[in-house]
Structure 1
Amino acid sequence: MDVSLCRAVSITPEASSRAPLPIRGGRIGASLAARAYRVDLRDHLIFPGLINAHEHLHLNTVPPLNAGAPFPNSYAWIAAFQAHFDDPAVIAALRVPKALRLRHGALKNLLAGATCVAHHDPWHAALDATNFPVALLRDFGWSYALGWPGYGPPAAQSFAATPADRPWLIHLAEGTDAIAQAELAELDHLGCLAPNSVLVHGVGLRERDVDRVIASGAAVVWCPGSNRALLGRSLDPRRLCAAGRLALGSDSRLSGARDLLDEMRGVAERGELAPAHLLGLVTTQAARILRLLSRGSLAPGAPADLVIVEDRGGEARSLVEIERSRIRAVVRDGVPRIADPDFAEWFAATGTAAVPVMLDGKPKLLAAPLAEPALIALEPGLERVADRSERDVGRQARSH
């Protein structure tokens, strides 16, 4: 099915094009067939699907740990969390099958425009499902953290087994104390600091450590919401961003913001980065750092993963400063997955059944494969219209 869209936002030169954006076979095309289905997107902007560079997909329904003072490092938070496992709400959340929790984490990302995610945990068979809601980073190496060797492969062994052209991920310097500050030197001593090293969090990196990261060609994934919640502060992103060595992640709702859009909006509101630079962290820079060379842009041959919003003036701000309910459509492989009701013909043209839902009080259409009742039930703010109508009828009956 060929589709013609416009107006597309080009991330690398900061400009936009009003020319038609052709989609052929689920990818951005160089040309378009004469009989293509056409979507009129005047007064709209089309962005590449966002890349979430760090997520724990299966943890988004687990209630966060209520703590007073910030923790000195993530290991102290992990130790404190052990008692939290006895909380009935945590027990109930973890009883949900992991395969369903993984799909829910993916759906959470998709609703906020993230169509590709780096999941930083052991691989699970559910991630290989053909109808998984988002694309995933694959063929990468990882270790969990230097100070928690019992979970995931050992750092040196995993790094050595990872090809130099594939990313290698590790939580590093997730803290504000001497333990966190010492981790970069330890990683370098192990021989694991290289251009394909992707260091998640990096709060404990000092100025000279940032110099070392940039000189090595490594990169950092910044998760400011999680950092502020657990540690009381985050890193200064400016030098790493300017060097092209920074991407953005949401971690999970267990510690971070609701989704990647909330992370972006928080950064913009605090004035930590300009919207145009922030947009690069979830598109071109993330794609380069994670070696996802076909993603993060609207170049011919790239997957037709798109985020469509109304043009509110100022291209980056049109996406950076909105909530998920104001996204007009999120598209994967040229097919709408969630969209406003006036895009119903686009669903039909691609042969995709759509289910009416409400997202944060706004009517939407959700692709039927994503509308499993058990999956929708896990996502606050998302409900099927039929389910809502039945509840309204029940309330009215009880009131009489």
Structure 2
Amino acid sequence: MEDIRKRLERSRGKTLWIVGGRISFDARTAVHANIAIRNGLILGIADRSGPGANYSSAETEALDLSGHLILPGLINAHDHLEFNLFPRLGNGPYPNYEEWAEAIYKPDQSPLAEHVAVPEGVRLWWGGLKNLLAGVTTVCHHNPYVASIFDSDFPVRVVKRFAWSHSLAFGKEIPSAFSSVDSHVPFIIHLCEGTDEKSAEEIFVLRGLGALDRRTVIVHGVGLGAAGHELVEGSGAAIIWCPTSNIFTLGQTLDAQTIMACRRMALGSDSALTAQGDLLDEIAFANHRHGITPERIYSLVTDGAADVLRLRSGEGMLRPGARADLIAFKDTGGSPADALVHAGISRVELVILGGQPTLFSPEMTKRWPDEFRASMESTRVGGVERFVRAPVRWLMEETRKHLGDRFCLAGKEICS
């Protein structure tokens, strides 16, 4: 393993040209071009007849992605990574999140008891893999940042620069948490997660605490009434929408008109405790079941999400100087937005995080040098085989000690 890591580090000093594919520039626009990557960043994007198409040297590698559509890595604005092995819990709809939590919290009973017994570090890794398989390269984990795990070869980038509180009911010292961040750092809180009058009032309580301005990011917001939405828009605050989680727990979610009109919004998967699956499942629901346009959805998981989370390194877009986070689908000729809303995990052929591949489809493994393939382990989730840069065999062994041979990742059965 150490020899593989040394070879991967050496590869970071080379320029990688990704050639032959169609590159997404926005929701509607993709052109045939080549991307140059070096030291984890996009050096440039050139016409495919320019340098890189046939260029090879000791300092350069070329990867042919002909027949593929290349998008920026997706941004999942809300997850609880340690809860993605769990089944959905509850028998809603509930009027608010407090009643849901009271109904499902039975830590000494199955299925909570055996799932909580899986070590937290193992569960966090599985949460990272859930996101990786769905083409996510950046995720916001609404819980403490675990540096010993997230800073050590984790398969996705976990947002580190934000302040948070769980909610008005379960959070602590909200005013001090809010005031601890400067004007360029988001403050994230579950708010108005319900359909009753108490939930609707939470936005006004938050304002009374002095914790509502452009830094504020509201997760869910289902209970916001007309006056609440006006307050959110006027303050410059943002909303993270988690539709399938809302439908499961509350029986409703934000309406399509609100989704289309909200100036600052992102999409989140939430965790398997309440959500249908992964971020691609949320994307499909938003389009197929809720009527949100492909173009709007594309923004909610790329540049719009980067704005909500105050990401400043080019996440959510493909441009020179940005982090080299990208994904590839088989190209069917449509727009990037149309391809995205029809994608499931079986469509994700390649994920690159910071210039390094973290996921291959079986077909994609044939296109990469040996040192990259050697660092991957095979997994099959929901019947889809992928090779990922993760300790899959160890994760399976540790999980089986508590859950047996059959268990699921965000509702999809896992095999090794």
Answer yes or no: is the 8 Å Cα contact 1:237–1:246 preserved in 2: no
Bigger RCO of structures 1 and 2 (CA < 8 A, at least 6 apart): 2
Aligned partner letter, 2:96: N
3-state DSSP of counterpart to 2:310: coil
Work out which of the residue numbers 159, 174, 183 in structure 1 matches 2:178: 159
Give the distance between the partners of 1:164 and 1:372, measured in 2 at CA: 43
Match of 1:52 in 2: 76
Aligned to 1:187: 206
Do the aligned partners of residues 57 and 279 (structure 1) sit closer, same or farther apart at CA in structure 2, a change above 3 Å counting? same
Which amino acid in 2 is paired with 1:78?
A
Cα drift, residue 313 of structure 1: 3.4
Superposed displacement of residue 122, structure 1: 2.2
Matched-pair contact (CA < 8 Å) for 1:55–1:117: yes
Q: How does 1:1-400 map to 2 (within 5 A)?
A: 1-5=14-18, 6-11=21-26, 14-30=28-44, 34-35=55-56, 36-67=60-91, 69-82=92-105, 84-149=106-171, 153-293=172-312, 294-315=314-335, 316-348=337-369, 351-353=372-374, 354-367=376-389, 369-375=390-396, 379=409, 380-384=412-416
1-structure distance, mates of 2:238, 2:102: 28
Contact 2:378/2:392 (<8 A) preserved: no
Q: Distance in 1 between matches of 2:382 and 2:368?
A: 21
Aligned residue for 1:19, secondary structure, equals strand
Q: Look up the SS of the partner of 2:82 in the other structure.
A: helix
Deviations 1:200-245 (A, max 9, x none): 0000011221121111110000000110000000012534544431
The whole-number CA distance in structure 1 between the counterparts of 2:379 and 2:150 is 26
Separation in 2 of the partners of 1:381 and 1:28?
Answer: 36
Change (3 A) 1:167 1:237: farther
Worse overlay, 271-280 or 256-265: 271-280
- Give the aligned residue type for 2:330: E
One-letter identity of the residue aligned with 2:282: E
Matched letter for residue 4 of structure 1? W
**Matches of 1:382 and 1:2 in 2, distance apart?**
36
Distance 2:290 2:102 in 1: 33
Counterpart CA distance in 2 for 1:142 and 1:92 is 28
Measure the CA separation in 2 of the matches of 1:120 and 1:43: 37
Distance change >3 Å, CA 346–CA 253, structure 1 → 2 = same
Tell me how far 1:336 sits from its aligned partner.
2.0
Report deviation, 1:137. Answer: 1.0
Q: Once the 2 structures are TM-superposed, how far is the Cα of residue 317 of structure 1 from its aligned partner? A: 1.9
- Dislocated runs of 4+, deviation >4 Å: 375-378
- Is the partner of 2:87 in helix, strand or coil? coil
- In 2, Cα distance between equivalents of 1:64 and 1:381: 14
CA deviation profile, 1:290-329 (whole Å, cap 9, x unmatched): 0112200011121211111012232212122121022111
Whole-Å Cα distance in 1 between the matches of residues 143 and 377 of structure 2? Answer: 32
Equivalents in 1 of 2:192, 2:380: separation in Å? 40
Cα distance in 2 for partners of 1:363, 1:100 equals 20
Q: Which structure 2 residue ranges, 5 or more long, are not aligned?
A: 1-13, 46-50, 400-406
| 8 Å CA contact 1:210, 1:240 repeated in 2 | no
Contact 1:49 1:114 in 2 (8 A): yes
Residue of structure 2 equivalent to 1:389: none
Normalising by structure 2, we get a TM-score of 0.85
SS of the residue 1:20 aligns to: strand
Task: Return the offset for 1:271.
Answer: 3.8
Question: How many pairs does the alignment contain?
Answer: 377
Do the aligned partners of 1:335 and 1:347 also contact (CA within 8 Å) in 2? no
Between the aligned partners of 1:323 and 1:240, the Cα distance in structure 2 is: 22
Given that 1:325 and 1:359 are in contact with CA atoms closer than 8 Å, whether structure 2 keeps it comes out as no
The letter for the 1-side match of 2:362 is P
Q: Aligned partner of 1:219: which letter?
A: A
Distance 1:349 1:22, change over 3 A: farther
> What is the SS of the residue equivalent to 1:200?
strand
Specify the code of the residue in structure 2 equivalent to 1:19: A
